[in-house]
Amino acid sequence: MMKLAKNEIARLIDLSCVRAECDESEIRQLAATARELGVVCVFALPSHTRLLKSLLVDAAHIGVGGAVGFPSGGHSTSIKAAEARELLAEGVSELDMVINVGWLRSGRYEAVREDIRGVVDAAGGVPVKVILECHWLTPEQIRIGSQLCVEAGAAWVKTGSGWAPSGATLENVAIIREAVGGRAGIKAAGGVRDLATLVAMYRLGVRRFGIGTASGTHILAECAAQPGGSVDVS
């Protein structure tokens, strides 16, 4: 039996505040909650990245990630690459980019691959997680999109941005796992709101979870309340 304690679950969690309506008070709360919970990384929209970085300057164990192409993924590749470079100059340790959903749905697979590669190249070795936005894709499009991510050099494939109505489902995660075949990590985001969901996805191979502050706090409280303060993930 393999068990994970609260602090180990926390190190699987990226807390995010990436909605358009998030204001500076929410960014400050994001940083405070990240400190309290001990999560692995935090994300805000690019205009808030400098503030978020300053709030966590003395918390080296918490990474600050950069959001590229949010929320639609419809930016040109050159703009996404420029955004990535600007965020890296701000000191982010990871990049989460939105795939060009419209191109993927249109069957423009080479264009999608090169769009991802443009950001991967701009990242210069910093891990890039590519958001498929599964809610808008068929199972076959999820499979193809996952393969394109791997071919373009992405470190992770991610289910959603948190802007679409859904994203992280067991079905979607299973498709991604089969498509990437261990060649990239899997990040689930867009619907992970309780410990049972997190555990079920962990068992399918998910090793990062994009979660809002309220859900992250709830999930870790659930874990702490388990017998022995840990949860079986085997």
Known catalytic residues are 96, 158, 187
Rounded-to-integer distance, Cα 197 and Cα 209, Å: 11
Concatenated DSSP letters of 34-97? HHHHT-SEEEE-HHHHHHHHHHTTT-TTSEEEEEESTTT--S-HHHHHHHHHHHHHTT-SEEEE
Rounded-to-integer distance, Cα 42 and Cα 20, Å: 16
Concatenated DSSP letters of 170-234? HHHHHHHHHHHTTSSEEEEESS--SHHHHHHHHHTT--EEEE-HHHHHHHHHHHHTSGGGEEE--
| CA-atom Rg of the chain in angstroms | 17
